[in-house]
Amino acid sequence: MDFSKLALKYKTPLYIYDFDYISTQFYSLKEAFRARKSLICYALKANSNLSILKHLAALGAGCDCVSVGEIKRALLAGVAKYKIIFSGVGKDDCEIEFALKEDILMLNIESEAELKRVEKIAQNLKTIARISIRVNPDVDAKTHHYISTGLKKNKFGVDADTAKKLYIYCKNSPFLEPIGIHCHIGSQILDIAPYSDATAVTATLLRSLKALEIDIKFFDVGGGLGIRYKDEVTIEPYDFAQAVLANLGGTDVTTVCELGRFLVGNSGYLLTKVLYEKHNGAKRFVVVDAAMNDLIRPSLYDAYHEIEAINKNGGGTLADVVGPICESGDFLGKDVLLPQLNHGDLLVVKSAGAYGFSMSSNYNSRLRAAEVAIEGGRERLIRKREEFEDLIRLEKECLEGANEENR
């Protein structure tokens, strides 16, 4: 990838995504589940750029959405309605209504209160809501505590016994049709055992529902497959699929997975320009033009992202790579081995395709980065760099409105 050329053309900070890599990841998953009917739903929250969605939709992906905004993005990008799932622990009435009217595949329910709400709204709309229930299997995914979701103490889902009661309730409701079972235990998972354990819990439930003549068609194992940021040993798609399928003998369900990071994480690079170096005593800092508002993972989770200097020889000394934001937590990397750098030199932050741009903000009134796709060796802009006018548009209208009223 010619980072220097891209920086010259599109300026920095710049997100760059390798679309061919995304295709490879998608096909490796599809292949792993080949023995069964499968649906791979991309978890939009990892990166919801419309061009990425369109790319994945063309490969046959569905989408796992957690807000109306995400559903609208998926629809706009051409994702088939019957491949869209609506997840999330707190859905607003208007979001439920929207999902039901759009007739997406299913709503993923996380509590009894939510189920009743969906039933009421379906009744008002004179329709039947297709649902799945998120089971909290009380399994430790052994990942960062902020992104672990399958333990009893987490806010997500309901235990298997409660889920069973809810399914029975659905069976007796004219407005609810249970078609799926869902489970998602966390993100950046590197250990296969929690997947086997969680799937065993939901597969047992699946069988007991069958005995009650509740016909579940979609077995959703969630997302969470970890990727390599540094030297992690990751789970192979084949082993992931085998861990799931081993629990499904004798059943005829479509397996669904909702992966985000696995599909896009290592496709992405954040390109940033060195502003200057500074030393505070013995401590070396490289100040760059990207910041925590562009990539918050290092600040928020102490996450590691490899950082490399472009067109420089290796070696050097240790430095913290920091942004211009007025917080000590604003760093992209700590103790990174870097050569002597000058104003205008480029650094690339790797593995930034997932939860990078999608968690970016305008903090410090900084304009969000542009995004570029590389596909078949060719590049194209997929999001323009924000301009000051974008930043203030909604406030400016109010300011002008207030001035008008005062006149």
Question: Is 86 a residue that touches ligand LLP (CB under 6 A)?
Answer: no
Taking CA atoms, 304 is separated from 224, 296, 365, in Å, by 17, 11, 26
**Helix H segments across 181-254?**
193-211, 237-245
Binding positions for ligand LLP, 114-173, rule CB under 6 A: 147
Label the pairing between strands 331-338 and 317-322: antiparallel
Binding positions for ligand LLP, 281-340, rule CB under 6 A: 297, 301
Q: Residues 65, 94, 326, 398: which is the catalytic one?
A: 326
Q: How far is the CB of 370 from ligand LLP (least distance, A)?
A: 21
Question: Is 258 a residue that touches ligand LLP (CB under 6 A)?
Answer: yes
d(CA 107, CA 65): 10
Please, which residues have CB within 8 angstroms of residue 325's CB and are 6 or more apart in sequence?
Answer: 291, 292, 293, 363, 364, 366
Give yes or no: 326 in active site.
Answer: yes
Site pattern 21..50 for ligand LLP (x: CB under 6 A): ----------------------x-xx----
Q: What is the DSSP string of 351-374?
A: S-SSSSGGG---GGGPPPPEEEEE
Question: Is 268 a residue that touches ligand LLP (CB under 6 A)?
Answer: no
Question: Is 184 a residue that touches ligand LLP (CB under 6 A)?
Answer: yes
Give whichever of 182 and 284 is closer to ligand LLP, judged by the CB atom.
182
One of 62, 194, 222, 237 touching ligand LLP (CB under 6 A): 222
Cβ 290 vs Cβ 349: under 8 Å: yes
Number of neighbours of residue 304 by Cβ within 10 angstroms: 16
Give whichever of 89 and 128 is closer to ligand LLP, judged by the CB atom.
89
Q: How far is the CB of 400 from ligand LLP (least distance, A)?
A: 37
Written as six digits, the tokens of 88 are 């999330």
Q: How far is the CB of 41 from ligand LLP (least distance, A)?
A: 8
One of 64, 70, 95, 289 touching ligand LLP (CB under 6 A): 64
One of 38, 188, 299, 351 touching ligand LLP (CB under 6 A): 188
The helix (run of H) or strand (run of E) holding residue 134 is: strand 129-134
d(CA 98, CA 21): 33
Which residues participate in catalysis according to the annotation? 326
Residues that bind ligand LLP (CB under 6 A): 43, 45-46, 64, 87, 147, 184, 187-188, 222-225, 258-262, 297, 301, 354-355
